[in-house]
């Protein structure tokens, strides 16, 4: 007969089977592995949030354009070793020092190099000029006279020459000129044509009278424009036979008559008394009495070497013409007065 099973054989404390033993072994091995991993990460603390935030940080690393350092796929256990993202980020981790991301490239590359544009340069120049301009003296044109070039240094006009100041004033303004050998020849006589050329340069009056076709002045004559100007401005006149006689030397009385006529000087009330200062008053031509008296009153007469000798019929020299032209320009306000003992300025006495 078969022996009935005992209570010991049917108790739950019987030996485990092979399958159960394997399951228990795997369970303990898993628990031990977890404990070992947790003990190895104890310095970073129990931060389960890091494991949960790995999926959120991974897309930020792949947002930038692919680079050689980010293309390989990292293992799962490597992601677990990443630093705690919830901790305050350090400076050297936020900005990669080695591989610059294209998003951090210099965007203003199309801009020109760092230099001042023309507008800035002009502005700096204007600012510099504005800073310096107040230090410069500002002179209005009415208060500043025109710049006069230096006079011509003629070889035959010594520094102490009696008409040197008159010659210098006119030569500086190119009213009179010298000869090619740098001489002025002050004692040389002046022809009527030469005198007309000097008048044209010295006075710029508007022409008021018609010109005269003189028979002895051809169209090709060098002084024809100057003669026409002297006639139309009433400085000079011709002779009754419709001649001008351009090569004739002009006398001292003719120079004074021409200046008084062109400047429209009125004769004094007593021309005879005015002219009585000259020792050779009797030599003055009758047609020239009133004009010479007007020239004397207005300070146009310059006598050399004797101040009281007029020498009205003597040919006028280049120095004398320069002195009288200068005095006429002083009268019109174009030149400054020069103090010279040879200038006659006899005021008209009371009648």
Q: What is the pTM of this model?
A: 0.58
For 53-80, letters b (16+ CB in 10 Å) and e give eeeeeeeeeeeeeeeeeeeeeeeeeeee
Q: What is the pLDDT of residue 38?
A: 74
pLDDT in tens, 321-334: 999 999 999 999 99
Q: Please state the domain extents for the chain.
A: 186-344
Distant-in-sequence, close-in-space partners of 25: CB < 8 Å, separation ≥ 6: none
Tell me what the mean pLDDT of segment 225-239 comes to. Answer: 95
Q: What is the pLDDT of residue 345?
A: 66
Residue 37 has pLDDT above 50, yes or no: yes
Distant-in-sequence, close-in-space partners of 171: CB < 8 Å, separation ≥ 6: 151, 152, 154, 177, 178, 184
pLDDT in tens, 128-145: 444 444 444 444 444 444
Distant-in-sequence, close-in-space partners of 150: CB < 8 Å, separation ≥ 6: 172
- By the 10 Å C-beta count (0-12 exposed, 13-18 middle, 19+ buried), 270 is classed as middle
18 against 258, higher pLDDT: 258
If we measure between CA atoms, which residue out of 205, 151, 144 comes closest to residue 175? 151
- Range name among 40-49, 128-137, 196-205, 335-344 with the lowest pLDDT average: 128-137
> Using 50, 70 and 90 to split pLDDT, how confident is the model at 16?
low
Distant-in-sequence, close-in-space partners of 93: CB < 8 Å, separation ≥ 6: 83
Question: Whole-angstrom Cα distance, residue 211 to residue 45?
Answer: 123
If we measure between CA atoms, which residue out of 325, 333, 296 comes closest to residue 169? 325
pLDDT in tens, 195-227: 999 999 999 877 776 788 999 999 999 999 999
Q: What is the pLDDT of residue 175?
A: 96
Residue 228 has pLDDT above 90, yes or no: yes
């Amino acid at each position: 007969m078969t022996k009935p099973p005992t209570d010991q054989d049917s108790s739950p404390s019987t030996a485990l089977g092979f399958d159960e033993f394997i399951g228990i072994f795997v369970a303990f091995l898993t628990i031990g592995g977890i404990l070992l991993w947790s003990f190895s990460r104890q310095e970073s603390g129990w931060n389960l949030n890091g494991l949960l935030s790995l999926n959120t940080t991974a897309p930020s690393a792949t947002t930038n354009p692919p680079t050689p350092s980010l293309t390989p796929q990292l293992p799962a256990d490597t992601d677990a070793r990443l630093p705690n993202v919830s901790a305050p980020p350090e400076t050297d981790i936020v900005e990669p020092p080695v591989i610059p991301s294209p998003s951090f490239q210099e965007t203003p590359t199309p801009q020109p190099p760092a230099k001042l544009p023309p507008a800035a340069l002009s502005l700096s120049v204007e600012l510099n000029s504005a800073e310096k301009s107040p230090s410069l003296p500002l002179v209005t044109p009415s208060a500043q006279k025109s710049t006069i070039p230096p006079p011509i240094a003629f070889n035959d006009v010594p520094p102490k020459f009696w008409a040197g100041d008159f010659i210098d004033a006119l030569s500086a303004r190119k009213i009179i000129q010298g000869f090619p050998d740098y001489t002025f020849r002050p004692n040389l006589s002046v022809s009527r044509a030469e005198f007309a050329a000097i008048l044209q340069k010295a006075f710029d009056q508007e022409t008021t009278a018609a010109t005269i076709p003189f028979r002895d002045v051809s169209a090709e004559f060098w002084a024809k424009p100057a003669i026409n100007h002297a006639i139309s401005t009433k400085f000079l006149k011709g002779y009754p036979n419709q001649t001008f006689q351009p090569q004739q030397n002009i006398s001292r009385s003719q120079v004074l008559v021409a200046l008084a006529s062109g400047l429209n000087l009125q004769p004094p009330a007593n021309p005879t008394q005015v002219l009585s200062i000259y020792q050779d008053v009797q030599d003055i031509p009758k047609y020239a009495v009133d004009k010479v008296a007007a020239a004397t009153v207005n300070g146009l007469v310059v006598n050399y070497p004797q101040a009281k000798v007029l020498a009205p019929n003597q040919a006028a020299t280049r120095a004398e013409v320069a002195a009288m032209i200068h005095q006429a320009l002083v009268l019109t306000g174009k030149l400054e007065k020069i103090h010279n003992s040879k200038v006659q300025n006899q005021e008209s006495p009371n009648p």
